[in-house]
Amino acid sequence: MPELPEVETVRLGLAEHVVGKKFKEIQVLHHRATSPKSMAALESLRGARIEEVSRRGKFLWFILDRPEILAGHLGMSGQFLIQPKGAPDERHLRVRFKLGRQELRFIDQRTFGWLSVESSISGRPSCVEHIAPDPFDKNFDIEATISRFRKKRTEIKRALLDQGVMSGVGNIYADEALWRSKIHPETRTEKLKESRIGELIQSATDVMSQALSVGGTSFDELYINVNGQSGYFERSLAVYGREGESCPRCGSQIRRISFANRSSHFCPKCQPTPRASGNR
């Protein structure tokens, strides 16, 4: 699933190409592309002008010259592509927004992504009310975020993935941030000092900044930017997807464990289990 660096890469590309353009025509080609919570049909936005493209965590939205907002989530395989008018349709094209000489296309192979017409709450769509600010948000409060982590009383990896605690981090960057901070994914949040949680948040911010600088992480063609290009941060990953390879820091063999219905990758030497390391 695309995480903050990938979604921000898409947002930047969209902002460059669509701000100031009008939805001259909207064609919904698959019913699952529209969220069941959408307050209106996507076609109702015909004629709207795009004023801004915004993001919080993994959510994108288009601010329009009308009260409604067009919100979206890429899910597992959603893509926004900018294509010239008349270009051949993609196999999994779900929604076409005609902008004049160009088209904005929403493509989604697995149909877990969605678009939605939302009401505006302080300039944000209603669907992100429960989503906490991410580290790149101007409203991000580090002390409040640390407090939310400590109150969860759960494994730190699970808390990192909780978008109500801090948004934007998914499985890839959670594993990378934990490795950088030398914290085992199963360490309990209440056992970590505030300073250690602060270090972890900084590690997550740093790794996502570096990923953003190269267009994010692409393992296959399911994540590409609006121009159809892949990101290159996969080459810089230290532990995620590296099971059996050597830790870049100590040389130990990277391990993978099952965690919260997904895989966690870590170095058993750099990130000892909570029982072996004690309370930090």
Report residue 153 as tokens.
């009383």
Joined tokens for residue 250: 């100590």
- Going from the C-alpha of 49 to that of each of 43, 68, 76, 204, the distances in angstroms are 14, 11, 28, 35
Residues with catalytic roles:
2-3, 58, 262
For residue 84, list its beta bridge partners: 102
Specify the amino acid at residue 20.
G
Structure tokens at 126: 């209603």
- CA–CA–CA angle 91, 94, 96 (5° rounding): 105
CA distance 213 to 263: 26
**What Cα–Cα distance (Å) separates residue 130 from each residue in 59, 133, 168?**
12, 10, 13
